[in-house]
Amino acid sequence: MTQSVFTATALTKTYVSGEVAVHALNNVDLEIAEREVVVLLGPSGSGKTTLLNIMGGLDRPTSGRLFFRDIDLTDLEDRELTKYRRDHVGFVFQFYNLVPSLTAYENVALVTEVAKNPMRPADALALVGLEERMHHFPAQLSGGEQQRVAIARAIAKRPAVLLCDEPTGALDSKTGIRVIEALLGVNRQLGTTTIIITHNASIQQVADRVLFFADGRISRIQRNETRREAAELSW
């Protein structure tokens, strides 16, 4: 049996402002397997980022449980949650947040200097196809290349999970596809469980499973029998 990396039961996040309660997540049950590629799709405000942030230890649910392997994240104190995040989670966001005065190599080295069992920065950059560009500064790289540096930075500490919120949101299709290719390459070579939020429906074809969100719930789960390669995508 494949081990679960995340197990959520009745996971709920409610925001209350005055008389109004917003159920950002409403009783979500979910298991995500080790090495899975999962795409989250759904309209704006349907709860995708809320779930991703709770999985990444950036936020806490109002009720329900979330296990990472056999650790109950909902039980952890703030300091332990920070440690969980540091040791096990890589994040990729729509905007790359690279340090402009540092080269690609140095941006990745910032992370590897403090990680427990990191990859070498050059190896992390090679994994996303940027070995030739590692001494360039962010301003000398295209948007897609900068995002690949951000992916190298996120995975250089060998996290168990890579959480991506709109990783291609700022990119044209050609560079976006290259970024998806980099994410799939990392998943294949390091076995990193990868969860991708996107508004781009064609990206669902690269996933093992697609979770469709509506009103704080998972309204449908689709399992893809075959996963497409990034190069087969177009949008």
Ligand X SMILES: Nc1ncnc2c1ncn2[C@@H]1O[C@H](COP(=O)(O)OP(=O)(O)OP(=O)(O)O)[C@@H](O)[C@H]1O
Q: Which two tokens stand for residue 199?
A: 């508004």
Least separation, in Å, of the C-beta of 33 and ligand X?
A: 23
Between 42 and 138, CB nearer to ligand X: 42
Q: How far is the CB of 16 from ligand X (least distance, A)?
A: 8
Residue whose CB is less far from ligand X, 92 or 190? 92
Least Å from the CB of residue 37 to ligand X: 19
Report d(CA 231, CA 164) in Å as an integer. Answer: 19
Judged by beta carbon, residue 111 or residue 203, the one nearer ligand X is: 203
Nearer to ligand X, 6 or 105 (CB): 6
Q: Measured from the CB atom, is 21 or 99 closer to ligand X? A: 21
Shortest Å, Cβ 232 to ligand X: 25
* Backbone φ, ψ for residue 41 (5° rounding): -120, 150
For residue 2, the Cα-to-chain-centroid distance in whole angstroms is 20
What are the residues binding ligand X (CB under 6 A)?
15, 22, 24, 42, 44-50, 213
- Looking at the Cβ atoms of 47 and 138, the one nearer to ligand X is 47
For residue 20, the minimal CB distance to ligand X (Å) is 10
Shortest Cβ 52–ligand X spacing (Å): 8
